[in-house]
Chains A and B, each alone.
Chain A
């Protein structure tokens, strides 16, 4: 896998999520682009590289997301994205053979699953913090079901954003230097199927 390209695209998307994606929000549903990249890499990169890619980009995401913890203190909480995406890619790896991963919609579907699982990890971390330190959870009291519903909507929004993103990433498929998969040429020609 081309780690330099991954780092550049990852940083750009993290910045994009923090600055631009608010323009695409629908009510409380706030789509993100980074999960699409993580899902794309999860479906195409070499298996040993996938957890690292998800974990490292998750750390960058965690450091970009200020949260309020006890006594109104604002910190960057490490874990929600890094551990969440690590958990999500662990679920995606067995599905690589099942999914039609050459299709952008398959990347979108994988993104929905990845984002939802990452959301569950995010919720588990906050429940643990609440139990250990008595911190207020970032959803209304008794609103756990609603929070899970919001996670689902966010995941769907991430998946929708991931479809055009995956199409773009596939256009430069050869640049990623993924093993196998019929990537050839590069540049604007991008992905070609193994059959051609």
Chain B
């Protein structure tokens, strides 16, 4: 019968119209396909089985929850470490920005972390000879506060900082600013007492709270002008009426932060 009809022109036109019809007009095709495929499904299942036998599907990787949890913990630890390093870098930048910059300062600062504090007040840090640190290099904290000097022995990867208040052999000469006459500078020799310093100045020229800054040629130039402490108390000296005994409290204490900066004086180690 179909042979007598030359071409399926009319059905083809209908199908052409449906081919470009909106999607909402084509919903019935799913039902038609379902009906059509109902008796064909068993054959199709055989075909799929044969296809899977001939070409096995790529195995889906099994999700290992324990491994994922381990990776998560490692990433969290890494994130924590990076966050700590970021904080340390920020602190180091803050310290460096607060430092006085002598024109001829040959120092090369390097950030260091406090890794231990001895009962004697000696501080261990995580930089040493390998990082170009030398014995005697000044160590600074945020706000341009002098912490102390690198002491002996100095390790390859670690060093110790002798707090400035405990350097007994030296008698740092200091400049006291902010006295009764404003920014007047008073030179004074301070004697370490273990928890600070003691010295004598002209009684009329210094007030409590005045800043005490290092001005001692025995220290490297990069340490000059750093804040040593503040005048904590003034006391008259009976035998010398025009003089006053002062006590200076260190500007830095162990609870002020874990990040320090070492002002290296030695050249960079050869790589």
Docked Cα-Cα span, A49 to B5, in Å, equals 8
Q: Which residues of chain A come closer than 8 Å to B240, judged between CB atoms?
A: none
Q: Which residues of chain A come closer than 8 Å to B245, judged between CB atoms?
A: none
Classify chain B's interface size: 35 or more
| Smallest CB gap from A53: residue in B | B2
Within 8 A of B (CB), among A140-176: none
Q: Which residues of chain A come closer than 8 Å to B46, judged between CB atoms?
A: 19
| Smallest CB gap from A122: residue in B | B19
Across the interface, B54 reaches (CB within 8 A) one of A15, A23, A76, A135, namely: A23
**B62 interfacial contact with A, CB 8 Å:** no
Q: Is the CB of A18 within 8 A of B33?
A: no
Q: Which residues of chain A come closer than 8 Å to B75, judged between CB atoms?
A: none
Q: Is the CB of B44 within 8 A of A133?
A: no
Q: Is the CB of B4 within 8 A of A48?
A: yes
> Given that A55-B12, A129-B20 are known contacts, is A60 also in contact with B36, CB under 8 Å in the complex?
yes
Q: Is the CB of B2 within 8 A of A3?
A: yes
**A192 interfacial contact with B, CB 8 Å:** no
**B76 interfacial contact with A, CB 8 Å:** no
Q: Is the CB of B29 within 8 A of A15?
A: no
**B26 interfacial contact with A, CB 8 Å:** yes
Q: Is the CB of B15 within 8 A of A1?
A: no
A56: min CB distance to chain B, Å: 8
- Looking at chain B's contact residues, the main secondary structure is helix
A96: min CB distance to chain B, Å: 16
**B82 interfacial contact with A, CB 8 Å:** no
Q: Is the CB of A22 within 8 A of B44?
A: no
Which of A66-74, A97-105, A106-114, A182-190 is near enough to bind chain B? A66-74
Q: Is the CB of B7 within 8 A of A51?
A: yes
**A9 interfacial contact with B, CB 8 Å:** no
Docked Cα-Cα span, A133 to B11, in Å, equals 23
Q: Is the CB of B51 within 8 A of A19?
A: yes
| Smallest CB gap from B19: residue in A | A79
A129: min CB distance to chain B, Å: 6
Within 8 A of A (CB), among B19-40: 19-20, 22-23, 26-27, 29-30, 32-33, 36-37, 40
**B50 interfacial contact with A, CB 8 Å:** yes
**B86 interfacial contact with A, CB 8 Å:** no
B95: min CB distance to chain A, Å: 54
A159: min CB distance to chain B, Å: 21
> Given that A20-B50, A71-B23, A73-B23 are known contacts, is A63 also in contact with B3, CB under 8 Å in the complex?
no
Across the interface, B18 reaches (CB within 8 A) one of A19, A51, A56, A78, namely: A78
Q: Which residues of chain A come closer than 8 Å to B69, judged between CB atoms?
A: none
B8: min CB distance to chain A, Å: 5
**B16 interfacial contact with A, CB 8 Å:** yes
Docked Cα-Cα span, A128 to B55, in Å, equals 37
Q: Which residues of chain B come closer than 8 Å to A83, judged between CB atoms?
A: 12, 15-16, 19
Q: Which residues of chain A come closer than 8 Å to B11, judged between CB atoms?
A: 55
Docked Cα-Cα span, A60 to B39, in Å, equals 14
Q: Is the CB of B40 within 8 A of A11?
A: yes
Closest 4 interchain pairs by CB? Answer: A79-B19, A19-B47, A76-B29, A20-B47
